[in-house]
Amino acid sequence: MKKQITIFDTTLRDGEQSPGASLRKSEKFEIAQQLHRLGVDVIEAGFPIASPDDLEAVKLISKNVKGPVICALARSLKKDIDAAYRAVKPAKRARIHVFLATSKIHMRYKLKKAEGEILQQAVSAVKYAKKYVDDIQFSPEDASRTDPDFLFRVIEAVIDAGAKTVNIPDTVGYAIPDEFARLIYNIMRRVRNVNKAVISVHCHNDLGLAVANSLLAIKNGACQVECTINGIGERAGNASLEEIVMAMRTRKDFFNKKTDIKTKYLYNTSRMVSRLTGIIVQPNKAVIGSNAFAHEAGIHQDGILKKRATYEIMQPKDVGFGETKLVLGKHSGKHALFVRLKKLGFNLKEDELKKAFNKFKILADKKKHVYDEDLKAVVEDEMCAQGEIYKLQYLYIESGTQHVPKATVGLEFDRKQLKANASGDGPVDACYKAVDKITGFRGRLTDYSIRSITSGKDALGEASIKLIVKGKVVTGRGTSTDVIEASVKAYLNAMDKVYWAHSRKLSQQL
């Protein structure tokens, strides 16, 4: 009989800590709804003490997302635990996740406390949180670098205090798979009361070992795994949910474990998180990268045509990939678009379909063929546009090898038509400087990339950028068959986020 593994998703908490990945309350709610559809067991919705916005986002999710356990993070401090409870109180199934560092380096340099003090604080925090909700999770931060004997004492103590789940974090991605597996194995055998709690793991990817460490932990007795969509998170990120789930499913002969994840939603969930955070999924990403089911070598293509299993250990449909590429053109109607989008996992309302159809017709006039990837980009652009503040009306470019590039950009802002001219090192730089004049925000570009979503000279291009504005990192994304227009749309997408953040800051000061 296969053993059930609990999937604890921390995309909205640890994942949002990726530089530039800050999400608005409505965006966190959208992702939470999708995580519910995907079938995750626990949603760590945020860190309420971090900001009033985060508290409100967790509260919104707690009120409206029914099914999964809704969890909030808190340091082992009463004010943190109070804030976490206020946020998850409306949830039908609420959890408070308390953490405290236990490694010598953290105790000495960060907390400046001895082992006895740490042990007492951990127990007190769990007992205090237990007054609010019954489901308490405790994490000894930096567990993989903690003295094992002290770690076992901490785990025993917090379980006795009432923790139902104890999470073992590899906080800085330091552990090697054999080493981490041995740690979990020893916890399962040397902690006196381990049978009274679920042992969980939370692995970071600094050495590229997060998924391997998580899978070996599961093999050695862990029953919950903490992960994120696309593996996003602090620094090099977290263990990737889709990779862990599909590894257990594909190699069930080895793991003999199961989850409740509806894998057909993995690809669309990945795209949603990428769209809303602005963090691109690399083409060669396992399971859900655009190349994950692509075969270019002639020998591979021949093998696939004869027997798919020769070169594919998973089927594209298992993770939600569409297999049909060429589907629509400029003569296609709205109903055909609706049917195709539904097959791709989008259920649009009538007004949303109408807007998407208008954008599709504009694109179809520019392109001979419209592919599935184009359609997804069209719908995702429309979703991004729902929060638009600065809307591109037009742009004119003067550029050449012997000419200083100049740009005129026209925007709509608060129902007003605004325009500015600027020159720059190139046409994109000139456009960005013109936008800066209109918005009043000046962004310093730290990363810029553009890629073709589909093939051909008329391919839809996707621009992705990272900026620093007023000391904060923001990301932006835009698509168009014109790479300069895509670049400007990406910049405006980033500026929309700057505007919202600036507005929130002003409102909090009032």
Could you tell me if 11 and 150 lie in one domain?
yes
Look at residues 362, 385, 408 and tell me which one is the last residue of a structural domain: 385
Task: Specify the residue for token string 């093999």.
Answer: 219
Please indicate whether residue 297 or residue 482 has the higher confidence score (pLDDT): 482
List the single range of 47-51, 217-221, 258-262, 307-311 with lowest mean pLDDT. 307-311
The winner for highest mean pLDDT among 202-206, 366-370, 478-482, 489-493 is 202-206
Query: How much of the chain is in helix, strand and coil states, percent to nearest 5?
Result: 45, 25, 30
Q: Does residue 117 contact residue 152 with C-beta atoms inside 8 Å?
A: no
Please indicate whether residue 460 or residue 324 has the higher confidence score (pLDDT): 460
Could you tell me if 17 and 128 lie in one domain?
yes
Q: Does residue 242 contact residue 229 with C-beta atoms inside 8 Å?
A: yes
Q: For residues 233-248, give the mean pLDDT.
A: 97
Say if 319 falls within a structural domain: no
In sequence order, which ranges of 89-240 are alpha helices (DSSP H)?
Answer: 104-106, 115-130, 148-161, 177-190, 210-219
Q: For residues 329-346, give the mean pLDDT.
A: 76
pLDDT for residue 48 is more than 80: yes
List the single range of 278-287, 353-362, 363-372, 411-420 with lowest mean pLDDT. 363-372
Query: What's the CATH number where 166 sits?
Result: 3.20.20.70
pLDDT for residue 324 is more than 70: no
Per-residue confidence band for 500, with pLDDT thresholds at 50, 70 and 90: confident
Q: Does residue 263 contact residue 245 with C-beta atoms inside 8 Å?
A: yes
Could you tell me if 31 and 114 lie in one domain?
yes
Size of the chain in residues: 510
Boundaries of domain holding 367: 324-385
DSSP 369: -
At residue 57's C-alpha, the angle toward residues 51 and 62, to 5°, is: 130
Please give the tally of structural domains in the chain. Answer: 3
pLDDT for residue 124 is more than 50: yes
d(CA 311, CA 304): 6
Q: What are phi and psi of 321, to 5 degrees?
A: -75, 135
d(CA 43, CA 241): 12
Could you tell me if 379 and 400 lie in one domain?
no
Torsion region of 67: left, alpha or beta (phi above 0 gives left; psi -120 to 50 gives alpha):
left
Host H or E run for residue 473: strand 472-480
How large a percentage of the chain has pLDDT more than 70? 90
Could you tell me if 21 and 109 lie in one domain?
yes
Per-residue confidence band for 328, with pLDDT thresholds at 50, 70 and 90: low
Say if 298 falls within a structural domain: no
Residue 351 pLDDT? 83
d(CA 394, CA 410): 5
State pLDDT tens for residues 7-31: 999 999 999 988 778 899 999 999 9
Residue 293 in tokens: 């089911």
pLDDT for residue 360 is more than 60: yes
Look at residues 335, 368, 385 and tell me which one is the last residue of a structural domain: 385
Say if 146 falls within a structural domain: yes
Is beta strand 472-480 parallel, antiparallel or unpaired with respect to 461-469?
antiparallel
Per-residue confidence band for 274, with pLDDT thresholds at 50, 70 and 90: very high
State pLDDT tens for residues 131-182: 999 999 999 999 999 999 999 999 999 999 999 999 999 999 999 999 999 9
Q: Does residue 244 contact residue 6 with C-beta atoms inside 8 Å?
A: no
Q: Rg for the chain (alpha carbons), in Å?
A: 25
Look at residues 366, 385, 404 and tell me which one is the last residue of a structural domain: 385
Could you tell me if 378 and 422 lie in one domain?
no
Query: What's the CATH number where 470 sits?
Result: 3.30.160.270
Could you tell me if 233 and 214 lie in one domain?
yes
CB-based burial, 339-360: b 16+ in 10 Å, e otherwise: ebbeebbbebeeebbebbbebb
State pLDDT tens for residues 56-92: 999 999 999 999 999 999 999 999 999 999 999 999 9
Could you tell me if 244 and 117 lie in one domain?
yes
State pLDDT tens for residues 289-300: 877 766 444 444
Q: What are phi and psi of 58, to 5 degrees?
A: -65, -40
Q: Does residue 318 contact residue 265 with C-beta atoms inside 8 Å?
A: no
Distances (CA, A) of 54 to 61, 95, 399: 11, 16, 45
Say if 310 falls within a structural domain: no
Could you tell me if 366 and 256 lie in one domain?
no
Q: For residues 250-268, give the mean pLDDT.
A: 95
Residue 255 pLDDT? 96
At residue 91's C-alpha, the angle toward residues 85 and 96, to 5°, is: 40
Residue 441 in tokens: 């925000």
Residue 387 pLDDT? 65
Per-residue confidence band for 424, with pLDDT thresholds at 50, 70 and 90: very high
DSSP 228: B
* Reduced 3-state DSSP string for 272-335: HHHHHHCCCCCCCCCCCCCCCCCCCCHHHHHHHHHCHHHCCCCCHHHHCCCCCCEEECCCCCHH
Say if 45 falls within a structural domain: yes
Could you list the beta-strand ranges (E) of 18-142. Answer: 42-46, 69-75, 94-101, 136-141
Say if 66 falls within a structural domain: yes
Task: Specify the residue for token string 């719908």.
Answer: 379
List the single range of 51-55, 128-132, 134-138, 477-481 with lowest mean pLDDT. 477-481
Could you tell me if 180 and 265 lie in one domain?
yes
Could you tell me if 38 and 78 lie in one domain?
yes
pLDDT for residue 309 is more than 90: no
DSSP 363: H
Say if 99 falls within a structural domain: yes
Say if 294 falls within a structural domain: no
Could you tell me if 410 and 365 lie in one domain?
no
Distances (CA, A) of 92 to 48, 55, 69, 95, 133: 18, 17, 8, 10, 11
d(CA 238, CA 209): 10
